[in-house]
Structure 1
Amino acid sequence: MRVTDHAPHRRDVRRWQRRLADEREEAEVYRSLADRRTGEEREILLGLAEAEERHAAHWKNLLGDRIGPERRGDLRMRLLVLLARRFGSVFVLALAQRAESRSVYDIDADATRAMAADERIHAEVVRGLAARGRARVSGSFRAAVFGANDGLVSNLALVLGVTGGGVTTSAVLLTGLAGLLSGALSMGAGEYISVRSQRELLAASRPDRAARAVVPHLDVDANELALVYRARGMSAEEAKRRADAMLRSGGTEPRTAESEEDGHEVVGSGVHAALSSFCFFASGAAIPVLPFLFGLHGSAAVVVAVVLVGCALMLTGATAGVLSGAAPLSRAMRQLAIGLGAAAATYLLGLAFGAAVG
């Protein structure tokens, strides 16, 4: 930390006041999230809040009698506090993770090295908490994002393709609605089958609990229990140790973080994923049809459809970026480029087909 014998510059005082306000806002974020949770997650979030309050005390001590009236943190932190109070979801944790990763304490001469290290560790703690939430919503979220994106791109491509072919507005509208319904049903059915199949594969790989009942009857001098553990990927020594422990306990084995039952992937409900996929595909596919549904036609309808779909593609891309801990803008632009590129290719094919037929 920088130490001076003279009064700090006004610029430094303002910076300290901003740091103090931001730390107070961060502490409020974690306390608001803790209010919506119980058990271990609540304790972890309260621990993070206490750490942020400790950092706030550092800036408060630097300011001394120059602390001034209580200030608000920057706009992003204030928005995060509002979201934490209202929702407390994995989305808020993902935003908090990004906020922690943007810490400037590494380059702030008035922040201690311990504070900079704390912020790095806080980012990892929040990453761990967010990972728990991502695991809980992974199946439904994947279906929702893929469903909405597929609906937007496929139906925009379909609508632009037939528009380029020179068909009437009523034919475009009928084609778009048919594409919406058929695509939503196909997505929902495919997602249900996919998730159900994945769950069945995982169930087939899960150890049979009934097999433990025969453990007391095994020949302790020549048993194959160690082979079971070796087949699961353990070394010969570790497998023998686990087998001996199982024999001594008479077939009971404590559940641990490394037990096979705890390690299987969380894939979610097949019905829930199918419904999410159906609804989000339908909502995405409806957007390029809206201009034609409200009476627009020709170039005006095409332009409005492209603009609406472009905004929706950027929104889904940014949302996926935030939840995955990535930069939302780059994910939004990637989603926009891919979606509009596919639609443009279909439109050009429609123009070529229409010219050839004509």
Structure 2
Amino acid sequence: MTSFSTPGSAVPAPAAPTPAQVRRWRQMLADERAEAAVYRDLASRREGEEREILLALAEAERRHEQHWLDLLGDQVGRPLRGDWRSRVLGVLARRFGSVFVLALAQRAEARSTYERDQDATPRMAADERLHEEVVRGLAMRGRNRMSGTFRAAVFGANDGLVSNLALVLGVGAGGVSTSVVLLTGLAGLLAGALSMAAGEYVSVRSQRELLDASRPGPHARSALEHVDVQENELALVYRARGMAPDEAAERAHTVLAALQAGNPRRPASGLSPSDDEGDHETVGTAVGASLASFAFFASGAAVPVLPYLLGAEGLVAVAWSAALVGLALCATGAVVGLLSGAPPLRRALRQVAIGFGAAAVTYALGLAFGTGAL
């Protein structure tokens, strides 16, 4: 049976939002405003393309802000503060604007709940996922620039913490005097720091030499101006470096056409199918990596020795060494997690488990083969 509306009947008005919905929408509005402010603050510390990208992200957050304003209507009320994560991120963005802040912003985008929020649109949820990838890309640039020295710093600090704690506890468990434990710890600090610095220098230097050996030679570049545009072997260079035949031919034609047109910049790097100028940034400098490795190993190795330097003995010194190293391992693990976009707590606990596992082995060996127990 077909039903007809009676004269004067009207379509039911949408139900009024509940107080809980209003509170949640107002908080969403505050969070969007805080995120937009973070991107504007980051943009103020950047130039060129990165600045434009960050400002575009801020504009996208403004569109999300408008969505919540439309839902709230005349119930917007007084502006609320964003959640504590957004506020902390805003403070860091205004003062630093570093890759560390971008890594935090990446994690903030990853926490978006719009996919499960019935009041958010599918487009908003998709935006947040794309924002995460955009921020990941921006952070990747900074990670590449710092990865060589950062790797040496993290490895050095953790090696110093773990190896010297294991050394101190292993020797101490053997029943030797506090002075012997202290001397062993200081010797381990210096020997390990020098070994790490030398090893890092050789490693980075060798990696640079391997990269240099794979770069186009200067004689090949000078030959470009004499290559025939129609019949040439330049395409073979690109194919040897991984390009498909059609793509290699097109690239060769483009480079040589630019050369004939009098554009000297294009052919200068035209023998490489991709931008390889960032390789040395990714690897880092040998001296910088070596110094960072020495400094951070020494700083890490000093932590387990500190209680003995301050006069602690026996189980008290062991407890203090383990506690201080545990805190330091948590800190380094959390920093690595944040910069890599991974959960910082999980990385911190992993670092602690590895460090204490190694120290427990040497401590057990010291008890087993020593002259007495602590």
Given the two structures, how large is their TM-score scaled by the length of structure 2?
0.89
CA contact (8 A) 2:171 2:181 kept: yes
* Equivalent in the alignment of 2:67: 58
CA contact (8 A) 2:69 2:76 kept: yes
Residue type of the partner of 2:274?
S
Could you tell me which of 246, 258, 261 is aligned with 2:276? 261
Deviations 1:42-96 (A, max 9, x none): 1111111111111112112211221111111111111111111111111111111
Residue type of the partner of 2:243?
M
CA contact (8 A) 2:173 2:372 kept: no
* 2:184 pairs with 1:163: no
Tell me the CA shift for residue 235 of structure 1. 3.1
CA distance in 2, matches of 1:106, 1:123: 14
* Equivalent in the alignment of 2:310: 294
287-296 vs 243-252, which moves further: 243-252
Deviations 1:84-127 (A, max 9, x none): 11111111111110110110111111111111111111001001
* Equivalent in the alignment of 1:109: 118
* Equivalent in the alignment of 2:356: 340
CA distance in 1, matches of 2:293, 2:58: 37
Residue type of the partner of 2:314?
G
Larger Cα-atom Rg: 2
Q: What is the SS of the residue equivalent to 2:222? A: helix
CA distance in 2, matches of 1:308, 1:57: 49
What pairs up with 1:43-122 in 2 under 5 angstroms?
Answer: 43-122=52-131
* 2:75 pairs with 1:31: no
Tell me the CA shift for residue 129 of structure 1. 0.4
Given the two structures, how large is their TM-score scaled by the length of structure 1?
0.93
Could you tell me which of 204, 229, 238 is aligned with 2:213? 204
- Gaps spanning 5+ residues in structure 2: where? 1-11
CA distance in 2, matches of 1:245, 1:55: 42
Residue type of the partner of 2:143?
R
Tell me the CA shift for residue 234 of structure 1. 2.5
Tell me the CA shift for residue 221 of structure 1. 8.0
CA contact (8 A) 1:18 1:71 kept: yes
* Equivalent in the alignment of 1:6: 15
101-110 vs 239-248, which moves further: 239-248
CA contact (8 A) 1:207 1:261 kept: no
What is the RMSD computed on CA atoms of the aligned residues?
Answer: 2.2
CA contact (8 A) 1:206 1:260 kept: no
CA contact (8 A) 2:166 2:360 kept: yes
CA distance in 1, matches of 2:341, 2:73: 37
Q: Classify 1:58/1:258 alpha carbon distance in 2 versus 1 (closer, same or farther; 3 Å).
A: farther
Tell me the CA shift for residue 245 of structure 1. 4.6
Deviations 1:109-162 (A, max 9, x none): 111111111111100100100111100110111011101000000000000010
CA distance in 1, matches of 2:76, 2:216: 61
Residue type of the partner of 1:60?
L
Residue type of the partner of 1:344?
A
Q: Classify 1:246/1:101 alpha carbon distance in 2 versus 1 (closer, same or farther; 3 Å).
A: closer
* 2:246 pairs with 1:231: no
Q: What is the SS of the residue equivalent to 1:261? A: coil
